[in-house]
Amino acid sequence: MRALIQRVRDAQVAVEGEIVGKIGAGLLVFLGVGPGDDEDVLEKVLQKISKLRIFEDEAGKMNRSLLDLGGELLIVSQFTLYADLSQGNRPSFTGSAPPAIAEPLYLRALARAKEMGIPTQGGRFGADMKVTLLNDGPVTLWLEQQP
């Protein structure tokens, strides 16, 4: 599983002009599912994301997590995180999980984050989405968890 994590002041995702997910201060996570991923991998990723100490404390140091802050989470599915750029000029996406595997894990990510007490919004799996964000920092991190 791959996650591109961005600390944001706010972010939103729209499908066909309709806002389907919107958050204030917190994290925007683009989530890519690989073919071997399962709920155990997802749990590790969500635990890591929720506890990353990447928000500033009173002294201006990155010492607070999303859970500490009470921040929000916007998770957007993004199979292109598994793009293979090694051959030619057209990316290959054969390394990403097929929708039958990826969609249930994406939906589980949304549900599980909410179960963890994190105010969570999402995009729409498989849709042409328009994402708008105000990156805070900027702080952008890459997380990869193997099955």
Which are the catalytic amino acids? 78-80
Any idea which residue has 């591109």 for tokens? 4
Q: Which two tokens stand for residue 124?
A: 């729409």
Tell me whether residue 131 is exposed, middle or buried, using C-beta atoms within 10 angstroms of its C-beta: 0 to 12, 13 to 18, 19 or more: middle
From the CB of residue 98, how many other CB atoms can be counted at a distance below 10 Å?
11
Classified as helix, coil or strand, 68 is helix
Q: What is the 3-state secondary structure (H, E, C) of 44-78?
A: HHHHHHHHCCCEECCCCCEEECHHHHCCEEEEEEC
Residues in a beta bridge with 30? 4, 76
